[in-house]
Amino acid sequence: MPGRPHASTAKSSSSFTTNAYSSISAAPNAVGDPSRPPGLVVVTFRILVGAGLGFYFFVVFCIARASLGGFGMSTFLFLKCAAVSLIMGAFMVWLAPFLELPEIWYRHRLPSKRLARGECPDCGYPRAPGTTRCAECGSERNSPPPWQFGARTIRLFAIVATVSFVAGCGVALAWIAADERAFVREASLARGAYSRERAWPMQFAPLAIDDAGTLSAPTIAIEGERDPNWRPRRPTGNVE
Ligand SMILES: [Zn+2]
């Protein structure tokens, strides 16, 4: 970084090493973040969490579509399935802090461990007893910066969740359409009434075609009938 002031500790014979270091990492006393996690770790981690979320949306969308019954996809059905996926997505909000695990580790946990070992929290160089300033990087930090849940975490989660939602629903649409196309092909080979389960994860819902060639996929209802005379009872032997 040309033109940027180096660590002010660069005075004596150690100036070469200090300069070499500060040209690699950010100058310690600048506004930059010395304990920033490696970009590859951050990107890989977010992709993994996003993929997990996308898979969740895919499964929810497929199950919603199969439960609603019928063959093919209309705008109304699509909106219904997307709405169900969105509502079910609320259960995944707890993943928001999880997305920032690399930051929590590199900015908080790792500096804490280094301090506990008597090392500089920013670069890990052993700190001489009684000193408050790192001889290597010049950091004067004596406690790790705390991790805080805030607008940044929510914004990050919103971005990852939106991409996962769109991808999950899109893949589910293609998956359901491919399964139904495959069913029509199989039915034409079967020549007559034919029925089978939908593809994973919708095996609970059947697809069928009758002798007249009418395609059908029944709405999945909860089995069994409710007894209208049933009333909750007090446990016996527990009368007050
Ligand atoms: Zn240091």
Quote the ligand 1 centre to 122 CA distance (angstroms). Answer: 5
Mean pLDDT for 34-49 is: 89
Q: What is the pLDDT of residues 97-135, one digit of tens each?
A: 889 999 899 888 999 999 999 999 888 999 888 888 899
Q: Please, which residues bridge with residue 197 across strands?
A: 206
Percent of the chain with pLDDT over 70: 82
- CB-based burial label for 113 (10 Å; 0-12, 13-18, 19+): middle
The mean of the pLDDT values for the chain is 83
Q: Which of 17-26, 31-40, 194-203, 230-239 has the highest mean pLDDT?
A: 194-203
Gap from CA of 11 to ligand 1 centroid (Å): 16
pLDDT in the model for residue 113: 92
Q: Which residues pair with 196 in a beta bridge?
A: 207
Phi, psi of 96 (to 5 degrees): -55, -55
> Residues lining ligand 1 (ion), CB within 5 A?
120, 122-123, 125, 134, 136-137, 139
In tens, the pLDDT along 218-233 reads: 887 656 667 778 888 8
Ligand 1 center from residue 120 Cα (angstroms): 5
141 Cα–ligand 1 center, Å: 9
Q: Where are the domains of the chain?
A: 32-175, 177-216
pLDDT at 34: 65
Residues 6+ apart with CB under 8 A from 138: 7, 8, 9, 28, 29
pLDDT on residue 221: 65
pLDDT tens per residue, range 154-168:
999 999 999 999 999
User: 73 C-alpha to center of ligand 1: Å?
Assistant: 60
Measured in angstroms, how far is the CA atom of residue 132 from the centroid of ligand 1? Answer: 10
> What is the Å distance from ligand 1's center to 188 Cα?
72
Residues with Cβ within 8 Å of residue 62, at least 6 apart in sequence: 172, 175, 176, 201, 202
Q: Is 234 left (phi over 0), alpha (psi -120 to 50) or beta?
A: beta
Q: pTM of the entire structure?
A: 0.74
Distance from the alpha carbon of residue 153 to the mean position of ligand 1, in angstroms: 28
